[in-house]
């Protein structure tokens, strides 16, 4: 049968019917809100390139937790900007480091699930995601540092560890370090397929990365590679990842879809800073409807196959869904 017996418009007649046949539905519990904490400030500092996003000082956890909980969002991902940076990124695993303090503060003053981003780029003076020897990031020397960071974040109370540095073997090294320290029940959300993307631009501004004009192309993936992403994910699962991630999201929906079809584990997608800023900039100029495009972008990421979305829109989108 086909037209005129078949008429697709019959099921588009009104919202109630459309809701019945909806294939993808967003919920506030799908979202993870990234939170930036900065040791160098004592009141909120707006991130210039990300309208509506701020850096928080190490206080006021109660209010932050309450406002997020009120929106319906239940999970956050913590990033820190330390007082001092050095070649080895020692503040990344300091007992009273910025991410440890923020994690502890949030856990003691809210019911949020706190996921710790684990990387060294915010903590090194050269801005690379690991230990640099002779101008290159030394993969294996970096793994030992990642183990220390993971354990310090778990000791601070993190519910989950999310390594974003794209070192080979990082998931296995972190799993081993966590297990040896008794944290056998702390899951790892692996930034598995993380591309070397220009869409991270505003983030580097947010965390005051000292990276300047450098490149992470020696460890992050090249943008045109699809099969390689599947290998990265497969390796992370073999090393013990509990949740995999594709990042960025919107320009990589094909990667999310393929991973969904191939792997049965939970999958996150990271709608990164540049994706957020693009939408906000266009909306701010009146060139598109910000709320509408925000929801459409999130829906498309879920439709592609992501179970959860890390997004700076988390609170705003959750409020619209209530």
Q: Which residues make up the interface to ligand PBG (CB under 6 A)?
A: 117, 119, 121, 129, 164-165, 200, 203, 216, 272-273
Pairing label, strands 54-56, 113-118: unpaired
d(CA 247, CA 197): 9
* Closest to ligand PBG by CB, 119 or 151: 119
Strand, coil or helix: what is 206? helix
Which of 85, 88, 107, 194 does the annotation list as catalytic?
194
CB-closest chain residue to ligand PBG: 203
DSSP per residue, 89-147: -GGGG-TT-HHHHHHHHHHHH---EEEEEE-STTTBSS--SS-EETTEE-HHHHHHHHH
Please count the other Cβ atoms lying within 10 Å of the Cβ belonging to residue 67: 12
Residue 35 CB, shortest distance to ligand PBG, in Å, is 12
Residue with tokens 């040896």: 180
Catalytic choice (85, 88, 107, 247) = 247
| Residue 247 annotated to the active site | yes
Q: Smallest distance from the beta carbon of 143 to ligand PBG, in angstroms?
A: 15
Which residues, other chains included, contact 13 with Cβ-Cβ below 8 Å and sequence gap of 6+? Answer: none
Which CB atom, from 87 or from 182, has the smaller least distance to ligand PBG? 87
The Cα 87–Cα 229 span in angstroms is: 30
Minimum distance of ligand PBG from residue 242's CB (angstroms): 18
Q: How near is the Cβ of 117 to ligand PBG at its closest, in Å? A: 5
Buried b / exposed e across 270-293, counting CB within 10 Å, b at 16+? Answer: bbbbbbbbebbeebeeeeeebeeb
Least distance in Å: CB of 24 to ligand PBG?
23
Question: Residue 88 catalytic?
Answer: no
Residue 111 CA, chain-centre distance (Å), reads: 19
Q: Which is nearer to ligand PBG, 145 or 164 (CB)?
A: 164
Output 58 or 166, the one with its CB closest to ligand PBG. Answer: 166
* Residue 86 DSSP label: B
CB of 164 to ligand PBG, least distance (A): 4
Residue 147 or 165: the one with the smaller Cβ distance to ligand PBG is 165
- Which is nearer to ligand PBG, 17 or 166 (by Cβ)? 166
| Chain-centroid distance, C-alpha 52 | 17
Question: Distance of alpha carbon 112 from its chain centroid, rounded?
Answer: 16
Q: What are the catalytic residues?
A: 194, 247
């Amino acid at each position: 049968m086909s037209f005129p017996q078949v008429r697709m418009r019959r099921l588009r007649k009104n919202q109630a019917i459309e809701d019945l046949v909806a294939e993808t539905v967003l919920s506030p519990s799908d979202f993870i809100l990234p939170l930036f904490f900065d040791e160098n400030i004592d009141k909120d500092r707006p991130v210039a390139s990300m309208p509506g996003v701020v850096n928080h000082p190490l206080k006021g956890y109660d209010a932050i937790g309450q406002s997020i909980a009120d929106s319906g969002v239940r999970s956050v991902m913590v990033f820190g900007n330390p007082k001092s940076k050095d070649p080895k990124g020692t503040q990344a695993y300091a007992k009273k480091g910025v991410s440890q303090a923020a994690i502890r503060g949030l856990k003691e003053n809210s019911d949020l699930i706190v996921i710790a981003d684990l990387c060294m780029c915010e903590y090194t003076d050269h801005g690379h995601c690991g230990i640099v020897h002779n101008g290159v990031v030394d993969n294996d020397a970096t793994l030992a540092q990642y183990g220390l960071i993971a354990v310090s974040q778990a000791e601070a109370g993190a519910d989950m560890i999310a390594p974003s540095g794209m070192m080979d073997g990082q998931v296995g090294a972190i799993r081993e370090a966590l297990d040896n320290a008794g944290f056998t029940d702390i899951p790892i959300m692996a930034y598995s397929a993380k591309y070397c993307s220009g869409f991270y631009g505003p983030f580097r501004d947010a965390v005051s990365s000292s990276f300047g004009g450098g490149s992470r192309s020696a460890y992050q993936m090249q943008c045109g590679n699809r099969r390689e992403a599947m290998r990265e994910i497969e390796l992370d699962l073999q090393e013990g990842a509990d949740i995999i991630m594709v990042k960025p999201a919107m320009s990589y929906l094909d990667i999310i879809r393929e991973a969904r079809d191939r792997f049965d584990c939970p999958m996150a997608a990271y709608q990164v800073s540049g994706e957020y800023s693009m939408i906000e900039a266009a909306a701010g100029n009146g060139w598109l409807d910000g709320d509408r495009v925000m929801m459409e972008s999130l829906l498309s990421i879920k439709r592609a196959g992501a179970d959860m979305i890390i997004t700076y829109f988390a609170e705003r989108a959750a409020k619209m869904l209530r």
